[in-house]
Amino acid sequence: MPRGDLFPDIVPFETGYLSLDNGHTMYWEQSGNPQGKPALFLHGGPGAGAGAVHRRFFDPRFWRIIIFDQRGAGRSRPLAGLTANTTPDLVADIELLRQFLAIDRWLLFGGSWGSTLALAYAQAHPERVLGAVLRGIFLGRAPEVEWFLYGLQRVFPDAHAAFASFLPEDERHDLLAGYFKRLTDPDPAIHSPAAQAWSMYEGSCSTLLPSFDAVAAYAQDRSAIGLARIEAHYFQHGLFLPEGGLLAHMHRLQDIPAEIIQGRYDMICPAQSAFELAASWAGSRLTIVPDAGHSALETGVRLALIAAVERCRALT
């Protein structure tokens, strides 16, 4: 997939690990302009981790780009750890990182679960948010989880059949319970195949057109266990969101500008949630990409994301 429209590949000017509670250690990095306007990248999943390509949505001459791996994800330790791994924990980790890096306010950039976490953090600390660029909106509501587990078979019956048939027939009435039991088993011979099946299902449904690269990225062993185990853990617990969900607390964000980018044919996070979020957020602008699915790296989505970030240069 050609990606020449992204900014050039760069390396961080600083990396580190931040000790958290309950044995967690969080990886973080900074790249771009050390004196630039701060922008925080929030990866998806939960549990997917961040990568080098995510730096490339930002002009490195202008932005101070901060990326971190959430608890249990990517380079953070322990990999796929579920102890004290909740949305309030992640919100507290973000605030700890902000204080550690001596940042006053920053732009939030997140897609899918990253949009969920960005909203949760912004609602907890609105005074610390310059603005937000959010993609593939996921509000963590029960119907959205149900759609992922069962509804996707209407559009991707083949991928869903492979996902469901991994489990014995008598467990397919509750896919989440069947997978969670295996994903939390300490034996790699049990949890690794389950993680692969879960992650390949998600990767297969994430783009408008079939993408071998997307499926292969999701299927990597380390990526798969972090994504599948943590995602199932969050699904089991209603994403650890406040009573009433995120939309019930949007009054806290009305003065914060936001760019919402949504693929029209996003099957992982259907567009309805983006429309509902935009309708509840006076300071938002919604851009529907007409020929894209869920992935941030599909051409129309990445172009829209880069344009949105460029518009955020003027935020003060």
Comparing C-alpha atoms, which of 135, 45, 51 is closest to residue 90? 45
Q: Per the structure block, which two tokens stand in for 127?
A: 């005074």
- Positions annotated as catalytic residues are 112, 266, 294
DSSP assignment of the chain equals ---TTSPPP---SEEEEEE-STT-EEEEEEEE-TTSEEEEEE-STTTT---GGGGGGS-TTTEEEEEEPPTTSTTSBSTT--TT-SHHHHHHHHHHHHHHTT-S-EEEEEETHHHHHHHHHHHH-GGGEEEEEEES-----HHHHHHHHTGGGGT-HHHHHHHHHTS-GGGTT-HHHHHHHHHT-S-HHHHHHHHHHHHHHHHHTSSSS--HHHHHHHHSHHHHHHHHHHHHHHHHTGGGPPTTTGGGGGGGGTTS-EEEEEETT-SSS-THHHHHHHHT-TTEEEEEETT--S-TTSHHHHHHHHHHHHHGGG--
Q: Are the beta carbons of 39 and 12 closer than 8 angstroms?
A: no
Distance CA 288, CA 277 (A): 13
The pair of three-digit structure tokens given for residue 56, joined into one six-digit string: 């490339």
The answer to whether residues 132 and 259 touch, using CB atoms and an 8 Å cutoff, is: yes
